[in-house]
Structure 1
Amino acid sequence: MITIDLSIVAEIIGVLILIVVLNSMLYQPIRRILKERKEKMDSIEAEAMKYEDRIKSLIEDYERKLREARQAGKAEYEKLREEAKQLEKQLLEESTKEAEAKRQELMSQLTSQIEAAKKELQAKAESFAVEIAQKLLGRAV
């Protein structure tokens, strides 16, 4: 049977002292280190989340500005394209008018040259007729 004597009490006191010593020298420092490590990891994780949110907002801002720039560029392109069409139309009209004016000028010059040639030929036609008649008849007319 088990007898309770002083050695059991000494063993119990030794175990309790060992528990107190181990608790103060081993378990508490380990718990403190684990707690500090957890707090540090939580802090790092929170900071990482903050940076991740900042990066997301910067990316969204960049994409928004890029869309706006593309829209502005497209609007400017369309505006310049329309201006170019108007300029092309205006230049084409001016060219057509200039060509028509040049054609009219050339036609009037040609008409006046034709009229001058007709008058000259009519003036010479009589002398040509006389010459031809003289050559055909062989005598002066």
Structure 2
Amino acid sequence: MVSVDYSLLVQIVNFILLILILNVVLYKPIRGVLAKRREAIDGLNASIDASSAGVREREETFAAGIKEGRTRGVELKDALIDEASQEERRIVGEITSRAQEDLAAVREKISQDMVAVRESLQSEVDDFANAIGEKILGRAL
């Protein structure tokens, strides 16, 4: 059987003393290290969150810049196409105008040449008619 005497009191005091000593020597330093580790982890998590937010913001800015650049590129391309189309119409108009002028000049030249040839042939018609008549009849007219 277990007897309760002063040794039990000594054991209780010994246990309490051991807990106090272990608390000072072991538990408080471990809790301090764990608290520092928790603070470091919390700081790193906050840093990660801040960096992630910065990265998201930069990605959004980058995406907006790309979208704006594409929009400006399409607008510039459309403007260049319009400008090229206008230039093409202008050039085609000039070429058509020149071609019309050249055609009119050629027609005028042909008309003048035709009048000149007609006049020169008209003066020779009598001579040709006599020559043909002589050949057909075989005698002089």
Which TM-score applies when normalising by structure 2? 0.92
Displacement after TM superposition at 1:132 (Å): 2.8
DSSP 3-state at the match of 1:138: coil
**What residue number does 1:47 align with?**
47
**What residue number does 2:139 align with?**
138
**What residue number does 1:117 align with?**
117
> What is the rounded CA distance, in whole Å, between the counterparts of 1:54 and 1:61 in structure 2?
10
DSSP 3-state at the match of 2:55: helix
Which TM-score applies when normalising by structure 1? 0.92
Give CA-to-partner distance per residue, 1:83-141, whole Å, 9 cap, x none.
111111111111111111111111111111111111111111111122233442613x4
Q: How many pairs does the alignment contain?
A: 140
**What residue number does 1:9 align with?**
9
Correspondence list, 1:1-141, <5 A:
3-135=3-135, 136=137, 138-139=139-140, 141=141
> What is the rounded CA distance, in whole Å, between the counterparts of 1:133 and 1:35 in structure 2?
137
Q: CA RMSD in A?
A: 1.5
Displacement after TM superposition at 1:6 (Å): 1.7
> What is the rounded CA distance, in whole Å, between the counterparts of 2:134 and 2:7 in structure 1?
178
Q: Read off the aligned partner of 1:24 and give its amino acid letter.
A: V
DSSP 3-state at the match of 2:114: helix
> What is the rounded CA distance, in whole Å, between the counterparts of 2:78 and 2:41 in structure 1?
55
Runs of 4+ in 1 over 4 A off after TM superposition: none
Q: Which runs of 5+ in 2 are unaligned?
A: none
